Structure 1
Amino acid sequence: MRFSRRRILIDGTPSLVMAGEVHYFRLPRREWASRLDWLLDAGCNAVASYMPWLVHELPDGTIDLDGSTAEHRDVQTFLDLAEERDLLVIARPGPFVMAELKNEGIPYRIYEQHPHVHPVGWDGAPAPTRTIDYLSPDFLGEVDRWYAAIMPVLAGRVAAVQLDNEIGMLSWVSNTPDLTEVVLADFAEWAAERFDVHERYGRWPVGRSPEAPSLAFHHDLSDYMRSRYARYIAFLRERAQAYGVDGPFLINIHGTGDGRGRTYPIGISQLYRGYQGLPQLTSGSDHYLGDLTVGNVADLYVGNAFMAAVHDADQPLTSLEFEAGTGDYGEDLGRLVPPSALDLKVRLCLAQGNRLINYYLFAGGYNWPLDVPSGDGNDRIAFTGERHGFAAPIGPEGRPNLSYPALREVTRTVRGVAGLLADMDEEHDGLALGFVPDHYLTEYRHPGDSARAEVVADLERFRGMGGRDVLARALLLSGFSFPAVDVQAAELPPVLVLAGASTLAAAVQRRLADHVRSGGRLLLAGLLPQRDVDGAPCTILADALGLKPGPVVYGGADRFPSVRGESFEVRVDVLQPLTGAGETLVREVSSGAAVGVEVRAGAGRAIVLACDYPCHLDFWTGLLARLGVRPRHTHDAPAPGIVVTSTVDGAGRRLVHLLNVGPVDQSFVLRRDGEPLFGGSPIRLAARSGAMLPVGVGPVAWSTCELAGLTEDGVLLRRRYPGEAAAFAGPVRAPDGASVSLTPDGLTLVRWTCAPAEPGELAEVRCGP
């Protein structure tokens, strides 16, 4: 496996990798073959697994990888079984693996023999998690010992290796930066190379208890941690290569939670310097969004777009933990994710260019007892009890649950067109969503710093997808297909859409101002920035646009700010009056002050919407139309919930990707650049379903039936409804239950008037007289 042009090449051919996570170490050896066979039955062509240091190391420090002490340690036989089935292997050897294991998969011995590797945080308090100072020489020495054992076993036998797992996650979720004496000394050296530390921080050394306000210190500490993570990743890669593994390598990104992806970019912000621009190394997502709905579909889309924004021209999108089961992780029936969610999420990710998806967890198993009892109440390798993965499509006892049929269906569906998907790119609509990595440097805040808490709250409210997430949601549900761009470093596109917050670095404000003045167009939604990352007043962008922001007005229990655009009044939760140049588009109702304006600056234009306007799709498409951008795909669906994008390859073959994430069935006509697609035939999408419709693929000019594959003399189409049709460039033999006629433009039209025997029925259309 190699990475090139954001594709995964296998034996030089662009390929789609569909994997499932099977934990061999949680199953008896006799069960391994059956779990791999379930993967094959589902249509997967790869298997992934953690390889936990905790499991393979014995109490005396020796390492068993061949099962000589216990069969569940026999990773070599597991690799043999995968090879016999032509399954690619995605190896995940840590050193951290999480997976509900004790110590996150680190042997107890490491903490016992090197207690100093467990860091302290704010005010010298010990870290509440089982994290470790990643760059501690003693820890790195132990990691090298583990890699010296596991990497030669993997060399030449696996397709890719994930380096560690969720780097930086434990310190973020516990608000506990690593602040050992060694780390503080290293940070001091890092800061001294960049700033006059006494001038920037006031008191030096700052230490573990910064005096409030300490905005510059907090920002710089998080930025410094990026460099530590990058050095750690570089160490792991170098040692893996030293022991015979040449990659490619993967870094997984953490951050979804509570069914949302709003904090997901924190993981990107923490880790991107560790992989950005490095050959044969890319990032992969961890997706735990539960259901996919109108409310959170933009979370997934934007998460993928932000990942891609910091990739280079070769680094593909991947997903290393793609939530696949029922969601009943606590075995308490507190949540059940509908199986349709898996279908929707797979389709959306593949439409955005994901080349590898690893269903996590695909098969459950058991947590064996530790070699030495821990006295923690269960004495097993993990804290979930004896059984593990009870929500997985294949349960611990090897039986499929309600999520397996959906997984099998969507995997086999996409494998039917894998040759197309693997070499296609998403088509975009002439605008990009701005990604500000530093807006996500919010993982740490000293508990005594109220100024830091205020800045973080402001960023959390407005960054990324915009206030109430309306900005990104409106773009996606209006039909726009869009990438993201790193506004701190990348070349800015002609039209940029950015969620504004009160804090924005001076350098970024300057880039945006220069962009507009030189002819660029900007939609800034949220607040007009007024301060730099260190808290200093900074209005470079506002000054360039000729605007002066007033005090921010927030709604509350007895205050209901409202604004008026072109039509009626709408309630908002926050607004910022604007004075200065430009045409007023939106006004505050009570004062008449402008809160939305269009201004000209130099050769460019900007629209500043300083309020959290509701998700009225016509309003948002109208704003973008003023900047000269319209979605190429439009439709007349009666209710919100349709997501549409398209992918195309170098030969001009195209797939139109449609999702209905709404709760009702929909029928609509789809248009591209104003012209009806599919001969104007209506498209039907059941609630919570998707379709990939071909345009110019092989003999198919277009089809409202999903393409299931190409045959030697025709195509396979997947039928769901009566009235579906497909047009061909030449003659075809009429399939059962269909009529054949000619269209006005000379295409051969095949139309089925009867319903399929069952939804998803395959119909073969053969070409020729």
Structure 2
Amino acid sequence: MCSTFIKLKGGVSIQVEREKIIINGKETVLFGAELHYFRVPKQEWRNRLKDVKEAGINMISTYVPWQFHEYEEGYIDLTGETRGERDLQSFLQMVAEEGLYCLVRPGPYVMAEIIDHGVPTWFIENYPEAAALNEKGQRHATQVVSYLHPIYLEKVKNWYDAVCSVIQPYQVDEGGPVILFQLDNEVGMFHWVTHQGDFNEVTIKQFQQYLEEKRTLSANDLAYFENANKGADTIQPLPVALKNDYFLFMREHYRVYLEHLKQLAVELGITVPFVINIHGFHTTDFLKRGTMYPIGISQLLEAAKMEDTLVAGDYYIGNIEYDNYIDIVLANAFTKAIQSPNQPLFSAEFQGGNASYRPKLQPSTFDLTTRLCFANGMNAVNYYMFVGGENYEGIGLNGRRHEWQAPLTASGEKKPHFQVIGHLGKMFQTFEKPLLEAKQTTHTCFAFYPDYYMTDYSNHFSSPLIETFQRERDLNIFNGMAKGLRVNNIVFDSLNIQEDGKIDVGKVPTLWMFSMKWMDSQVQQKLVDYVQDGGKLVLFPTIPTHDLNDQPCTVFKDYIQVESRGRKGGFVRVGDIDSVKVPYMETFKDEKGAFAWSEDEAEDVIAFEKELGKGRLFVFGAALGLNFNHEYDVIRELAQRVGVKSDFSLEEELDISIRAKSDKSYFVFLHNFDEYRKETPINKSGQPLFGGSQVSVPPKNGLMLPVNIPIHDDVTIAYGTAEVFNVEETADALRVKVKLKQAEDVLLFSSSIWRPVESPGIKVDKEAEDTFLVTLIRSLEKEATIDFKKFG
């Protein structure tokens, strides 16, 4: 994978390195807004762009819907000849004039609640042979095309010829606003939501060729290809190995498709970096979850290796709650595990609203999700949607209106979350350089196993196994161990356990590995090597005994020499914590290092530690669903046994983490997911922060507080409990604007030439030479301005 993208022309460059996007030498936090020019009256475009800029936005993102622009085969309007809202060229010019960057997303698929998902209806109707088919040979329920069908690719080329000719001169290296180009949209999503792959004749032949390059086809293989998509009577239970081969083939299939689109664009003069976006959040009644998001990562695992291409997640968490915020944390960790180490963590569709009004999204959701992602190291977001609009010429799946609970309505009204996002945008701009230099500090690593998420397709034969994988993942990761670690403020990153090469024990001294009875031999051997080389491995809850093809595979079990006794339900005792009810427990023959037992007459060992090679193994055989508070204590004590603990001690339950430039210079992120204010002193590694002051976090809100962070050439905030969101300098004055968060906020500044000035509500005490404590007494105002004067 390319480590750096550099595009040069006329002195302008784009670089992607060290988790940053650098545009013409400027390290940039991308703070984007989705604005669909084709849904806003042309005469209102500039007004909307100006409104968007008020929220600290520096990038506009838009789909370019093929459906809308090629309204009849062979007739493409991108300059507004038939309708002003089709004038992509003028829109890009206007974005440039307003000093904004642009992410263009010309499909071919755009979804976006557009009929036929953005592919022209004339194509769907006139070329049925290019449609994806289900296993019965019937047209796919979503009418999605077969991505590599030659007729489809021929028509896509015509579309790209036209749309790229408009985009090309507006790229940043040509002096324009376009800095990123997205390839298609959420590739594989339609197959996941319907649990159906693509069994078009073209795809089946490609699958057969793929297998023939890997191995000699068996009688079962040949029988499958003979009967594929021939009708319901021919559907048979696939051997597990062939089913898995199909999953692996489809990963390659998606990559080949996206590489084809990329090559088309490059040949047509597109030079900016490309983007592929990952789908996967889903709705359960009124609560959204991200437990299936890793399925999207798995589908696009091979595509993520493409050169000059950024991976970006689509995050739709609904209203963020204590019970689902871990899904955002894991989405960030797992995405980062498979992307280029040089690219920033990026969400190309970051929830800015919702297609329907169920659930009704609260302003606090936009605040907390943004803060949480930036705490995790995200440096680029694009709020989708940011501007509501109207579906012209009947293109909308949901009718004429397209409001989307957006911060800016179709009429230009600013909703409450406009101000919330605006504050964050201004704050990130103020701290842009130090924030980009600061990296998330972690305590341990949580492994990501992509093949455990090869569950996107199923039929009535394979559903039981697929459901087992889903149930075990949800219980043990999202509602179990990962959540328990994070609630205890043990911050983890992730690694792709399937990557080539050994795990570097120096970089990953502790590793948490969710395991089922199925695990491929290469991964089992990788874990063996990790422990042998000195790593501390926590394996839970099952010791693997088979590979993913359901063939016996005991590489790991043979290495650790432990005898399993079986599985049962009931209660367990973990250390001194008794009466812990678990859905199930794996039991083992007596082990010297046992530290948890079943609470029954057998008193079976259910967890143990064991020294192996240079390292240490911890097997925790109990599934924890975290239905009771004491279960979080179990995970905290397990982590302490491994040598992992949080840096922080608090008196209230708050999510806390840091992004650090150095040991002394960092940002503290605090998140309160409950609906009441919490107040606590904060100690880091035993030392009080913020001068020992109590820090209050409002309900369903967060804080980003700097510690020894410069805000000007000669002004540093040693610490502060209020949020600085703007710094302005004149010839002899400096104005620092802050958002008040406490009944009495304090900020400690150091400067050799600037002195804060007292004013009503603002008290200044000189603490030491060049160090000044500013106390802000909160009144009815929510913001305050601290004036500084030059001294000497």
1:464 Cα deviation (Å)? 7.4
Partner of 2:173: none
Aligned counterpart in structure 2 of residue 445 of structure 1, from 451, 455, 458:
458
Whole-Å separation in 1 of the counterparts to 2:205 and 2:590: 48
Q: 2:199 aligns with which of 175, 179, 186?
A: 179
Superposition pairs of residues 5-154 of structure 1, within 5 angstroms: 5-154=18-167
CA separation in 1, counterparts of 2:662 and 2:65?
A: 42
Unaligned runs of 5+ in 1: 370-379, 555-559
CA distance 1:27–1:681, change in 2 (3 Å): same
Tell me: CA distance 1:211–1:530, structure 2 relative to 1, closer, same or farther (3 Å).
farther
SS of match in other structure, 1:498 = strand
1:341 to 339, 349, 365: 365
Answer yes or no: is 1:723 the counterpart of 2:744: yes
Match of 1:296 in 2: 324
SS in structure 2 at match of 1:483: strand
What is aligned with 2:3?
Answer: none
Structure 2 alignment gaps of length 5 or more: 1-13, 171-177, 711-715
Distance (whole Å) between structure 2 residues aligned to residue 746 and residue 656 of structure 1: 26
601-610 or 45-54: bigger deviation = 601-610
Q: In the alignment, which of 585, 589, 592 is matched to residue 575 of structure 1? A: 585
Cα separation, 2, equivalents of 1:126 and 1:561? 50
8 Å CA contact retained: 1:740, 1:748 = no
Contact 2:573–2:597 (Cα < 8 Å) also in 1 = yes
Which has the larger displacement, 106-115 or 705-714? 705-714
- Where 2:519 maps in the other structure, the secondary structure is coil
Q: What is the SS of the residue equivalent to 1:123?
A: coil
> 2:224, 2:399 → 1: CA distance?
48
Verify the 8 A CA contact 1:8 1:422 in the aligned structure 2: no
Q: SS at 2:744's partner residue?
A: coil
Show the counterpart of 2:598: 588
What aligned pairs does 1:106-505 form with structure 2 within 5 A after superposition? Answer: 106-157=119-170, 158-198=178-218, 205=225, 207-208=228-229, 211-212=236-237, 214-258=239-283, 259-276=288-305, 278-325=306-353, 327=354, 329-331=355-357, 334-369=358-393, 380-429=394-443, 431-447=444-460, 449=461, 452-463=462-473, 466-467=476-477, 469-489=479-499, 491-492=502-503, 493-505=508-520
Q: What SS does the corresponding residue of 1:656 show, helix, strand or coil?
A: strand
TM (normalized to structure 1)? Answer: 0.91
Identity of aligned residues (%): 28
Aligned residue in 1 for 2:685? 673
Partner in structure 1 of residue 646 of structure 2: 631
Q: Residue 42 of structure 1 aligns to a residue in which SS?
A: coil
Q: Secondary structure of 1:128's partner?
A: coil
Per mean C-alpha deviation after superposition, the further-off stretch among 190-199 and 392-401 is 190-199
Give a deviation string over 1:726-758, Cα, whole Å, max 9, x none: 223457435333444466x87835152622442
Distance 1:766 1:436, change over 3 A: farther
Match of 1:527 in 2: 542
1:181 CA drift (Å):
2.1
Equivalent residue letter for 1:705: A
Shift of 1:39: 0.5
Alignment check: 8 A CA contact 2:327 2:478 kept = no
Q: Is contact 1:721–1:756 with CA below 8 Å preserved after alignment?
A: no
The answer as to whether partners of 2:665 and 2:709 remain within 8 angstroms in 1 is: yes
Contact 1:578–1:595 at 8 Å: present in 2 too?
A: yes
RMSD between superposed Cα atoms in Å: 2.4
Give distance in 1, aligned partners of 2:592 and 2:517.
21
Cα distance in 1 between the residues matched to 2:696 and 2:784: 16
- The answer to whether the 8 Å contact 2:361/2:405 transfers is no
Give the Å deviation of 1:290: 1.0
1:224-253 Cα shifts (integer Å, max 9, x gaps): 100011111111111111111112111111
Q: Deviations along 1:706-727, whole A, 9 cap, x unmatched?
A: 2324555575443222332222
Measure the CA separation in 2 of the matches of 1:15 and 1:528: 45
Q: Is the 8 A contact 1:21 1:48 kept in 2?
A: yes
1:467-497 per-position Cα deviation (integer Å, ceiling 9, x unaligned): 5622111221212222110011164322101
User: Which one-letter code corresponds to 2:318 in the other structure?
Assistant: G
Distance 2:478 2:575 in 1: 19
- In 2, distance between residues paired with 1:651 and 1:512? 31
1:720·1:758 contact (CA, 8 Å) conserved in 2?
A: no
Contact 1:465 1:499 survives alignment (8 Å): no
1:264 Cα offset (Å): 0.4
Query: Structure 1 601/2 Cα, relative in aligned 2: closer, same or farther at 3 Å?
Result: same
Change (3 A) 1:654 1:670: same
The change in CA–CA distance for 1:768 and 1:600 in structure 2 (over 3 A counts) is: farther
Residues 9-30 of structure 1, C-alpha deviations (whole Å, 9 max, x = no match): 1112210111111111112211
Distance in 2 separating the partners of 1:519 and 1:177 = 42
Deviation at 1:196, TM superposition (A): 4.0
Equivalent-residue separation in structure 1 for 2:493 and 2:547 (angstroms): 26
Match of 2:702 in 1: 690
**Counterpart in the other structure of 1:755:** 778
What is the distance in 2 between the residues matched to 1:171 and 1:351? Answer: 33
CA distance in structure 2 between the aligned counterparts of 1:386 and 1:594, rounded to whole angstroms: 63
User: Matched residues in 2 for 1:468 and 1:22: separation?
Assistant: 33
1:546 deviation in Å? Answer: 2.4
After superposing the two structures, state which structure 1 stretch, 662-671 or 236-245, moved more.
662-671
